[in-house]
């Protein structure tokens, strides 16, 4: 069975500082990996995804993530955050050839001025 | 395109009442999903559908039923609401496909906030 762990439930950071949100997964088969963002009182929006190919994936709003198969991780990074990045971020995994997602518990990013 | 829409946006129920949440998508997606979101628990899959007329159980199906009579609609029913079903409910949809070329990004609706007293 798949599971997704987001160890940090909350990450406070000052504006223009770099940030890394951690995601680890467990799976015995190949997976697809996703990061979604949820702004207050809204649905989830896709930030980026890894399906295959280059392990460094670039997404919207300046975010990127690196797939590390040996460490089973897919950490999200941004070199300089803005106040508008304040939101909750969810890592998700889906199994190769099967369209069912498993979500992590989420990380709340709080960007302070 | 409206994408994925959900009705209603908010609802308050008393214990034992029933209700149906409606999800509609205009992207001709085969797959549709219902999730619930609770603090500190992320999103948990309730039921899903891989095509018109099909449904399947997810992680937390108890107390819910679903129907997919039309490809564009996916209904979530609560027959006898309980306070434990107080949550935010999200519907999502995605393309059909298999293998590495599958783009299985899920598109989410705005959510329904349900309170059961």
Taking only the tens place, the pLDDT of each residue in A77-109 is 999 999 999 999 999 988 765 667 889 999 999
Q: Which residues of A touch B111 (CB under 8 A)?
A: 41-43
Q: Tokens representing B97?
A: 């496909």
**Model confidence over B34-89: pLDDT tens digits?**
999 998 888 999 999 988 999 999 989 999 999 999 999 999 999 999 999 999 99
**B10 near B116, Cβ under 8 Å?**
no
Query: Nearest-CA residue of chain B relative to A30?
Result: B100
Q: So what's the pLDDT on residue A40?
A: 87
Residues of chain A with pLDDT under 50: none
Identify the band that residue B99 occupies on the pLDDT scale cut at 50, 70 and 90: low
Those residues with Cβ within 8 angstroms of residue A85's Cβ, 6 or more apart along the chain or in another chain: A19, A61, A78, A109, A111
Residue of chain B with shortest Cα separation from A4: B42
Strand partners for A5: A24
Across chain B, mean pLDDT equals 91
Residues of B in contact with A9 (CB under 8 A): 40
pLDDT at position A24: 95
Contact B109, B96 (CB under 8 A): no
Measured distance CA(B19)–CA(B13) in Å, rounded: 8
């Amino acid at each position: 069975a798949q599971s997704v762990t987001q160890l940090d439930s909350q990450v406070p950071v000052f504006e223009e500082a770099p940030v890394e949100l951690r995601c680890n997964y467990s799976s015995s088969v190949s997976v697809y990996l996703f990061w979604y963002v949820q702004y207050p009182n809204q649905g989830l929006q896709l930030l980026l995804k890894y399906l295959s190919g280059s392990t460094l994936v670039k997404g919207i709003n300046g975010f990127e993530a690196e797939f590390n198969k040996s460490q089973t991780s897919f950490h999200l990074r941004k070199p300089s955050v803005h106040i508008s990045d304040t939101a909750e971020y969810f890592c998700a995994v889906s199994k190769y050839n099967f369209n069912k997602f498993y979500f992590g518990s989420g990380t709340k990013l709080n960007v302070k001025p | 395109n409206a994408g994925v829409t959900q009705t209603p946006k908010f609802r308050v129920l008393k214990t034992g009442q029933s209700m149906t949440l409606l999800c509609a998508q205009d992207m001709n997606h085969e797959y549709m999903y219902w999730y619930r979101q609770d603090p500190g628990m992320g999103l948990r899959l309730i039921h899903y559908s891989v095509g018109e007329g099909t449904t399947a159980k997810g992680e937390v199906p108890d107390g819910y039923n679903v129907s997919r009579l039309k490809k564009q609609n996916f209904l979530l029913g609560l027959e006898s609401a309980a306070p434990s079903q107080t949550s935010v409910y999200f519907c999502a949809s995605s393309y059909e496909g298999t293998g590495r070329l599958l783009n299985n990004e899920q598109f989410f609706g705005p959510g329904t906030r349900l309170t059961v007293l």
